[in-house]
Copies of this chain bind each other. A is one copy, B any other.
Amino acid sequence: MNEQELASLADRFRSMLRLAVFVSRRLDGDLELSTTQLSILTMCGNDGLRMGVIAGNLGVRVPSATEQVSRLERAGLLERHADPKDARAVVVRRTPRGDKTAAEVSRRRTARMVDVLETLEPAELEALRTALPVMDKINERLHSISNPKERIA
């Protein structure tokens, strides 16, 4: 693939990323838990996770994770526990109600997505399936790019 084709693919892929944000909003924007909250609930099994790990999995800073966890705790879906090995740390676990809610919400959300996917051709579904691992790889690659921050508008 030559330079120009690559640039064209890059451009269209950038548009696709933006589209993914829309799709995500359309799909999840009206439900009980935000996508982030459902992710947290899903990853904190009954074994529990450290706050820092949650943040890392989400791709956000620790204080952002703290905020979401606190909210889910207030809603009775998660609990903070002391880590016996390290008094600095916190272990976040789902409550029984959290288990139930996570399962329900996830089921509803997947069902909605299935409704959409059902309208597609088999070849299109195959295209989707094939592209999934590529996105993972791209995400990994981007870990290596750094981030200052300044906006002009």
Interface residues of A (CB under 8 A from B): 1, 6-7, 9-14, 16-27, 29-30, 32-35, 37, 39, 59, 71-72, 74-75, 77, 101, 109-110, 112-114, 116-120, 122, 124-125, 127-132, 134-139, 141-143, 145-153
Contacts and interface: CB of A to CB of B under 8 A. Distances in A.
A9 B120 contact: no
A21 to B, nearest CB: 6
Contacts of A119: 141
Contact of A26 (B19, B77, B147, B151): B147
A82 B14 CA distance: 32
Given A26-B143, A132-B13, A153 B18 contact: no
Contact of A16 (B11, B125, B135): B135
Q: Report whether over half of chain A's contact residues are helix, strand or loop; otherwise say mixed.
A: helix
B27 A142 contact: yes
Nearest to A109: B14
